[in-house]
Structures are given as C-alpha cells and as structure tokens.
Amino acid sequence: MHAIATCLLAAALSFWYRGELLTALRYFISDSSLGGNMPEPEGTRRSPQGVPYTDLPHIVNADRLHLFCRYWEPDSQPKALVFVAHGVGEHCGRYADIAHSLTQHGILVFSHDHVGHGQSEGERMNINNFQTYIRDSLQHIDIMKGRYPNLPVFIIGHSMGGAISILTVCERPQDFAGVVLIAPMVQMNAESATPFKVFMAKVLNRLAPKLSLGTIDARLISRDPKQVEAYDTDELNHHGGLCVSLGMQLMNAAARIEKELSNITWPFFIMHGDADKLCDIRGSHLMYNEAKSTDKKMKVYEGAYHALHHDLPDTAESVLKEVSTWILERVPTPNGF
C-alpha cells in the first residue's frame, strides 16, 4: 500500500484548489449532526447483495453490524483452527484454495468479510478506526475457540489482512500458535509517507473523510491474466475507490506495527513477491529483521506480484504447499510429540 500516502496528498491538493473545501466542511458537519441512519430490525437485515442474513452464516459485531462468514471443515475431527484475514477491497471467498489445501490435513479454516467488504454490512471502503478489524477478528476467533477448545489457533493474513493479523496477535500473543503472512502491509513507502504528505492526509481526513481515492489496478494483483480477469469480474470485490478515511487508517496501522516489531516473539512465516507494487517488500524484510522471534521464516518469490496465492500456477502451488507444511509442523501430534 505504498501509494496510499501519495494518493492522499494528490487528493488533498486537488480538493483544495478546486475551491470545494467549504462544501466538504458543510457535508462533514451535516453528516456528524445527523448521526447516520438507524439500524434495521434484526429480522429484516440483508446483505449488500439483498440476501437476508437469516439465510447466511454470520456473526454480529460490537457495532451490531452483520459480518458474513465462511467455514471450511475437514472430514475428520479438526486438529487445529486457522483464521484467514483477507485484504482490502476483496472478500474471504477468495481464499477457498488455501482453505481446501488445509482441510485435507484435518484443519478447520474460518473467515469473515471485514466491515464494509463483500457480503458484510458497513459502508464500502470507509472506516474510522482500524481497531474495528482487529476487534472483529478476535471476536470470531473467540467464538471458534469456544466451539473447539484446546486446539491451536493460527492466522493467515494477506495485504491489509496481514496488518490485521499482526496487530491481532500482538494484542493476545499467548492465544496463537503462529502467523502466516502473504505480502503483508507492514510499513508505508518512505518516499510516499513524508511528514508533509502525512500532514495533508490528516487535514483531508478531517474535512472530507469519504472522498474517494484511486482504485486498485487488478494488473498489479497477479501475473496470471486469468486471475486478473477473475478479480475484475468478481462482483464481491470492491471496484471503486478507497475512502480517505480508510487510507488514513492504513497509515495509522503501519505506524502501530513499526512500534510493535521489536516486541514480537511469536512464530511467523512471511512470503512476499519481489515485484510487488502494492505492499512494499521492505516492510516484510524489516519485520523479519526486527522481530525477536526465534521461530521465524521468510521466503521471497522472484518476479512475483502481490497475491502470491493467485499468481502464476507454479507460484500459487508453491504457496499452498508452503503454508500447509509450515502450519502442520507446528500442530501437536496426538501423543504430544
């Protein structure tokens, strides 16, 4: 996400010089005073696609928003739990391949669409506090731990989901057996997130938090044209712009992560493509070098783009195998060895 700060600055300057600053301020004040729409009664709540939540697997978060969930269960009694945190603008259904590869080894995989994503409620691509993603993840994990007590819990996070995963485990490290990070958002690009650009982003966030930034170019997701087309035609993906508020929260999350790196002692495995133009690989190298963990691994895929699990077939197959192997090596056997 190293382009976020640059986009925020460009949007801020453009917004200023168009002479629309006062208009934005009026909208901001009006929005705050109205307080938003009242939530619908529980029985009438529908997904953004119009499906009643009574017909969909879901949880209700602390803000009373319905989050669509997916569960991939093994044929046998599960021996571990894996929570998947998806990236910005996508949805948890895009992780079916990873989930199926794990269920073949007796692992139960679960996930949900984050607030404002996919089939979950919430304003699209607009959030006031990154902590909401972390809170919701812990809530879902606690629910599954209650259903399957005494099983080790792992997290897999991609892109923004990597940032969510890192901060989630930092809050309760004792609850997790390990973390797999696929092209995680760890830090912002230093050239983009200059003090001046950050300042301008904060100004714009106060005056026009819902202003839309540029869209994600699907051609940067994968080197595989079929995967690019699949991303572009997936109706559950968000194909519009990111709101300024979300861009600001991504910057805040990266700042939080950098402060936490030297305190990390939990097991993790990072995979990153060295041609990734969406999440800076330097952040992954920084995490690997700064973390105090004794059980840590990093694998760099030469020439690979952002979504390694949806990249060229050889890369995607390697990622599935690496993920399964790393997690299985950390799942206790029945006899304790």
CATH code, domain carrying 273: 3.40.50.1820
In a domain, 45, yes or no: no
Q: What's the confidence (pLDDT) of residue 30? A: 35
In a domain, 218, yes or no: yes
Q: What's the confidence (pLDDT) of residue 133? A: 98
Number of domains in the chain: 1
CA-to-CA distance for 86 and 68, rounded, in angstroms? Answer: 13
In a domain, 27, yes or no: no
Q: What's the confidence (pLDDT) of residue 22? A: 35
Catalytic status, residue 274: no
In a domain, 38, yes or no: no
Q: What's the confidence (pLDDT) of residue 292? A: 98
In a domain, 164, yes or no: yes
Q: For 221-266, how does the pLDDT look when each residue is reduced to its tens digit (9 = 90+)?
A: 999 999 999 999 999 999 988 878 888 899 999 999 999 999 999 9
Residue 326 CA: distances (Å) to CA of 50, 102, 103, 332: 39, 11, 14, 13
**Average pLDDT by consecutive 10-residue portion of the chain (337 residues)?**
49 41 36 41 84 97 98 97 97 98 98 98 92 98 97 98 98 98 88 63 68 83 98 96 85 94 98 95 97 98 98 98 98 70
| 290's tokens | 């700064």
Q: Which of 86, 272, 306, 309 is catalytic?
A: 306
Q: What's the confidence (pLDDT) of residue 207? A: 66
Catalytic status, residue 136: no
Looking at this protein, which amino acid is placed at residue 221? I
Q: Which of 47, 111, 137, 159 is catalytic?
A: 159
Label the pairing between strands 153-158 and 178-182.
parallel
Burial annotation 231-258 (CB, 10 A radius, 16+ → b, else e): beebebbbeebbbbbbbbbbbebbebbb
In a domain, 271, yes or no: yes
Rg (CA), the chain: 20
In a domain, 35, yes or no: no
In a domain, 63, yes or no: yes
Q: Which of 113, 136, 276, 311 is catalytic?
A: 276
Dihedral (CA of 135, 136, 141, 143) sign: positive
Q: What's the confidence (pLDDT) of residue 9? A: 46
Q: What's the confidence (pLDDT) of residue 290? A: 98
Catalytic status, residue 306: yes
pTM of the predicted model, to two decimals? 0.86
Query: Which residues constitute the domain of residue 208?
Result: 4-15+54-328
